Amino acid sequence: MTRYLLRRAGGSLIALVLASVIVFVGVRSLPGDPAVALSGEGRDPAVINAIRVKYGLDQPLPAQYLRWVTLAAVGDLGSSAKTGAPVGRIVLERIPVTVQLALMSLFAAMAIGIPLGVLSAVRRGHIPDYVGSGVALLGLSMPTFWLGIVLILVFAITLRWLPASGYVSPFTDPLESARRMLLPAIVLGSGFGAVLMRQVRSAMVESLQADYVRTARAKGLSEARVVGIHALRNSLITVVTIVGLELGALISGSVVTEQIFLIPGFGRLVLESISTRDYPLIQGVALFSAAGYILLNLLVDVLYSLLNPRIRVSRFSA
């Protein structure tokens, strides 16, 4: 187990280093000279030169990379070219907002996807199965940004039940915060819920045909216990896998969702950094999202192997 964890962590570390190289090279490929951009309106050659020396931009690229990655490793991602605030601080201020949105959307996805998946599997080939599969297909095919627009149109503009946009911290007013996050969470969770429904359905179909379920039925257990305790518990491991696979989609989705509902989270910061051409911020945001994805995936993998020893052994021997 320890060997597996070490191996997996080593792989993540390599991915992290490679990701940092990609981010560094990517940002260096952006048009324009960062020293000129930082020098302001005057474009004084002496000032530009001084900036080059100060930020090590006169050094060869590998030296620049080493300097940047060493500083990034201790949490120093530089300062925003526009506001002068530390990039690390800007990013960390936005992360909790997106985490709240992501957690609420995960909850929404599970609240819809799991029961629908179970129902479709139990009533396989009947009306509930067709309805469930139809809903999942809708969720997979619907553009999230359009769903957002439609929900705003129905619940904010027409019915006036919920606010169309804005953010309130849960620490200031938990109820209002949840109210404002409800529509964005449904929008962000819709695609994930659809994937989850499909996977839970197929895992349940398999579980319901397994020997241990037949034994449970033969023992005279009620159908609710057979489905709820025996079959579902073994199918739930699918949820962990899907969470791991869908993390990237969740980060991408947060960019769109936060843009539609004007939520000041990490996703919106991605777009803001690009529209203001704030290179240190772009670099920090890209590195943060890649690192976050790699680390969360590692966490999901470890959790997965803890839940299912068979996977651990087969992956280890592979």
Partner 1 sequence: MSAAVASLAPAAPLERSTRFAVVRRFGRRPPAVLGAALAFAVIVMAVFAQVLAPWAPAANDFSAILAPPLAPGHLLGTDELGRDVLSRIIWGARVSMQAGVLATLLAMVVAVPIGLASGYYRGVLDTVVMRLVDTLLAFPFLILAVGFAAIFGPSLQIATLAIGLVQIPKQVRIARGEVLSLREETFVQGAVADGASDAFILFRHILPNVANTLLVQATVLIPYAILGESTLSFLGLGVQPPTPSWGVMLTAAQAFLSQAPWLALVPGITILVTTMSFNLLGDGLRDTLDPRDAGR
Residue 113: other Cβ atoms inside 10 A: 28
Binding mask 12-51 for partner 1 (x = CB under 8 A): --xx--xx--x---x--xxx--------------------
The residue with tokens 């996807």 is 113
Instruction: Name the residue nearer to partner 1 (CB basis): 198 or 230.
Output: 198
Site for partner 1, residues 97 to 116, rule: CB under 8 A? none
**Which among 61-69, 105-113, 205-213, 268-276 is the span making contact with partner 1, rule CB under 8 A?**
268-276
- The Cα 204–Cα 222 span in angstroms is 17
- The Cα 18–Cα 221 span in angstroms is 53
Site for partner 1, residues 164 to 193, rule: CB under 8 A? none
Residue 97 beta carbon to partner 1: minimum distance, rounded to whole angstroms: 17
Instruction: Name the residue nearer to partner 1 (CB basis): 133 or 234.
Output: 133
Give the tokens for residue 2.
Answer: 């320890």
User: What is the rounded radius of gyration, in angstroms, for the C-alpha atoms of the chain?
Assistant: 24
**Which among 52-60, 79-87, 177-185, 279-287 is the span making contact with partner 1, rule CB under 8 A?**
279-287
DSSP secondary structure, 1-28, as one string: -HHHHHHHHHHHHHHHHHHHHHHHHHHH
Give the tokens for residue 102.
Answer: 């992501």
Q: Is 264 near partner 1 (CB under 8 A)?
A: no
**Which among 76-84, 117-125, 211-219, 270-278 is the span making contact with partner 1, rule CB under 8 A?**
270-278
Instruction: Name the residue nearer to partner 1 (CB basis): 231 or 251.
Output: 251
Residue 140 beta carbon to partner 1: minimum distance, rounded to whole angstroms: 6
Up-side HSE of residue 198: CA atoms within 13 Å toward CB? 14
Residue 281 beta carbon to partner 1: minimum distance, rounded to whole angstroms: 11
Give the tokens for residue 122.
Answer: 């139990």
- The Cα 174–Cα 225 span in angstroms is 36
Site for partner 1, residues 231 to 250, rule: CB under 8 A? 248-249
Residue 57 beta carbon to partner 1: minimum distance, rounded to whole angstroms: 18
Site for partner 1, residues 291 to 310, rule: CB under 8 A? 293-294, 297
Residues contacting partner 1: total by CB under 8 A: 43
Binding mask 124-163 for partner 1 (x = CB under 8 A): -------------xx-xxxxxxx--xx-xx---x------
Which DSSP symbol is given to 185? H
Q: Which position among 252, 264, 311, 315 is part of the footprint of partner 1 (CB under 8 A)?
A: 252
Give the tokens for residue 298.
Answer: 């590692």
For the chain, counts of helices (H) and of strands (E): 15, 0
Do 282 and 274 form a contact (C-beta atoms < 8 A)? yes
Instruction: Name the residue nearer to partner 1 (CB basis): 226 or 278.
Output: 278
Do 200 and 117 form a contact (C-beta atoms < 8 A)? yes
**Which among 1-9, 35-43, 96-104, 253-261 is the span making contact with partner 1, rule CB under 8 A?**
253-261
Do 261 and 274 form a contact (C-beta atoms < 8 A)? no
- Burial level of 225, CB count in 10 A (0-12/13-18/19+)? middle
The residue with tokens 């969770």 is 189
Do 255 and 271 form a contact (C-beta atoms < 8 A)? yes
Residue 70 beta carbon to partner 1: minimum distance, rounded to whole angstroms: 20
Contact positions vs partner 1 (CB under 8 A): 11, 14-15, 18-19, 22, 26, 29-31, 137-138, 140-146, 149-150, 152-153, 157, 248-249, 251-252, 255-256, 259, 270-271, 274, 277, 282, 285-286, 289-290, 293-294, 297
